[in-house]
């Protein structure tokens, strides 16, 4: 049996990524570092949304909702006990609990995935536009819940003063894990059944694919990584409010997936990098000439151009050839 993918290249890329992180930490200032961190978080978000939207073709706008769940769970778990007593009214077992970042992130991700299961069971019976609207509804429900659950979330003011735990060494290993997981899924029979559902659910069902199970799982896996990304996000910004994870963010992530190519992991990766960096890129221009907002306008223009000239996205549904194993 041929290796599922081209191992050597993957190892080379992983090492190169590690070296880049080392170099970045040694050379650039905090501003650039924070941008690199956000790029990493957006890569996790885009690649994980690609599992849901790209592979299985479930058009979900609920990704920031899962991020919010993961973010709040992680934030409450890592919040120093002394500050918890000052700000929140928690049940006793939670009030005395303060976890390191890794278990908190995992708990956040798992809560998001669990929510995805619960939400997925009714919602995934819908298709197409209906599904998109239902997931949008989910996002709004999450926001309203967080806004009103004051004893735990502090309402609209949000949690602030979180420990700034997120560093490049936290973000990029998670990027690697996310990409690896997505890759393994895509080139497994499970991933193939996802792609089959996307192309034609009826045909997929005819060859024995369990539609519902596959759909719920793809939503839950995407949600897990969104939850982790939410946790990383919270500890990078060090503040988290219900408005942090908005519909605008949902669109931004969907744009990354669409521009990169629905179903292409490399595509999501590249598009996430481009779209998180491009607005920063125009900052000097905005600030020197007082034309604030030009970055967004140009980003929209780039988006339109890509959709006109490459409607399937930069990579389509494929991965670059050198990364994929040759057909035997």
Q: Return the number of the residue (193 or 241) whose C-beta is nearest another protein.
A: 241
Q: Is 236 in the site for another protein (CB under 8 A)?
A: yes
CB of 101 to another protein, least distance (A): 18
Give the DSSP letter of residue 210.
-
Nearest alpha carbon to residue 17 among 173, 167, 178? 173
Nearest alpha carbon to residue 146 among 64, 206, 220, 209? 64
CB of 290 to another protein, least distance (A): 7
Q: Is 233 in the site for another protein (CB under 8 A)?
A: yes
Q: Are 30 and 173 in contact (CB under 8 A)?
A: no
CB of 44 to another protein, least distance (A): 14
Alpha carbons within 13 angstroms on the beta-carbon side of residue 270 total: 16
- CA distances for 21 relative to 25, 29, 33, 231, angstroms: 6, 13, 10, 20
Report the site for another protein in 305-324 (rule: CB under 8 A). 309
CB of 272 to another protein, least distance (A): 14
Q: Return the number of the residue (34 or 317) whose C-beta is nearest another protein.
A: 34
Q: Return the number of the residue (279 or 317) whose C-beta is nearest another protein.
A: 279
Q: Return the number of the residue (205 or 238) whose C-beta is nearest another protein.
A: 238
Q: Which residues of 118-133 are buried (b: 16+ CB within 10 A; e: fewer)?
A: ebbeebbeeeeeebbe
CB of 276 to another protein, least distance (A): 9
Report the site for another protein in 162-201 (rule: CB under 8 A). 164
Distance of CA 109 to the CA centre of its chain: 11
Report the site for another protein in 254-293 (rule: CB under 8 A). 279-290, 292-293
Q: In 89-240, which ranges are E strands?
A: 159-160, 239-240
User: What are the structure tokens assigned to 328, written together?
Assistant: 């035997």
Length of the chain as a residue count? 328
CB of 5 to another protein, least distance (A): 28
Number of chain positions touching another protein (CB under 8 A): 41
* Pairing relationship of beta strands 239-240 and 159-160 according to DSSP bridges: antiparallel
- CA distances for 147 relative to 153, 154, 223, 227, angstroms: 7, 8, 21, 18
Which range binds another protein by CB under 8 A, 4-12, 53-61, 128-136, 156-164?
Answer: 156-164
Name the one residue in this structure whose structure tokens are 């049940």: 91
Q: Is 9 in the site for another protein (CB under 8 A)?
A: no
Q: Which residues contact 328 (CB under 8 A, 6 or more apart)?
A: 2
Q: Return the number of the residue (14 or 277) whose C-beta is nearest another protein.
A: 277
CB of 89 to another protein, least distance (A): 16
Q: Return the number of the residue (128 or 156) whose C-beta is nearest another protein.
A: 156
**Where on the chain is the footprint of another protein (CB under 8 A)?**
29-35, 38, 147, 155-158, 160-161, 164, 233, 236-239, 241, 243-244, 279-290, 292-293, 296, 298, 309
């Amino acid at each position: 049996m041929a290796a599922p993918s081209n191992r050597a290249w993957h190892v080379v890329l992983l090492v190169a990524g590690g070296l880049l992180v080392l170099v970045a930490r040694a050379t650039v200032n905090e501003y650039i570092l924070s941008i690199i961190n956000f790029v990493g978080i957006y890569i996790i978000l885009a690649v994980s949304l690609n599992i849901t939207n790209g592979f299985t073709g479930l058009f979900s706008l609920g990704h920031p909702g899962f991020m919010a769940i993961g973010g709040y769970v992680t934030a409450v778990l890592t919040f120093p006990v002394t500050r918890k007593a000052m700000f929140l009214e928690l049940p006793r077992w939670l009030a005395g609990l303060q976890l390191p970042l890794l278990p908190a992130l995992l708990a956040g991700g798992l809560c998001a995935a669990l929510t995805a299961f619960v939400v997925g069971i009714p919602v995934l019976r819908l298709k197409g536009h209906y599904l998109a609207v239902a997931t949008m509804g989910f996002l709004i429900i999450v926001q309203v819940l967080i806004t009103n659950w004051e004893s735990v979330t502090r309402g609209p003011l949000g949690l602030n003063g979180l420990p700034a735990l997120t560093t490049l060494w936290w973000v990029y290993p998670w990027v690697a894990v996310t990409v690896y997981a997505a890759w393994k899924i895509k080139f497994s029979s499970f991933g193939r059944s996802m792609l089959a559902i996307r192309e034609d659910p009826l045909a997929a069902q005819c060859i024995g694919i369990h539609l519902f199970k596959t759909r719920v799982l793809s939503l839950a896996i995407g949600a897990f990584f969104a939850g982790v990304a939410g946790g990383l996000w919270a500890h990078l910004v060090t503040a988290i409010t219900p408005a942090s994870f908005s519909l605008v963010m949902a669109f931004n992530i969907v744009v990354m997936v669409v521009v990169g190519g629905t179903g292409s992991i490399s595509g999501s990766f590249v598009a996430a990098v481009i779209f998180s960096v491009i607005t920063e890129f125009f900052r000097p221009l905005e600030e020197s000439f007082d034309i604030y907002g030009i970055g967004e306008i140009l980003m929209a223009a780039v988006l339109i151009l890509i959709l006109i000239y490459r409607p399937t996205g930069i990579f389509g549904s494929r991965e670059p050839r050198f990364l994929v194993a040759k057909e035997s």
